[in-house]
Amino acid sequence: MWARNVVQLAYGVPGILAYFLVFYAMRGVRKILSTNFIVIYVVMAVSNMLTWLNAWIYLKLTDESFFFFYFEWLKEHAWIS
């Protein structure tokens, strides 16, 4: 299971960093780009980043014994009802 996490981090972290690089580039050319395009792109990128983070935490880390305490705590202290 450890190898799956390493593989997901190996492509996920550079992907997230690339999104931030694109955000920085879009900030520099925001006068040229349409405001609607920037808003749609940012919403799409943020939803992609949150989806990746959610999948990594709840699908990959549940198999790691080091994080069992965290998932047991989540079962006892649900903050979304």
Tens-binned pLDDT, residue by residue, of the chain (81 aa): 677 778 888 988 999 999 999 999 999 999 999 999 999 999 999 999 999 888 877 777 777 777 778 777 777 776 665
Where b means 16+ CB within 10 Å and e means fewer, 17-52 reads eebeeeeeebeeeeeeeeeeeeeeeeeebeeeeeeb
Say what the pLDDT of residue 55 is.
82
Say what the pLDDT of residue 81 is.
55
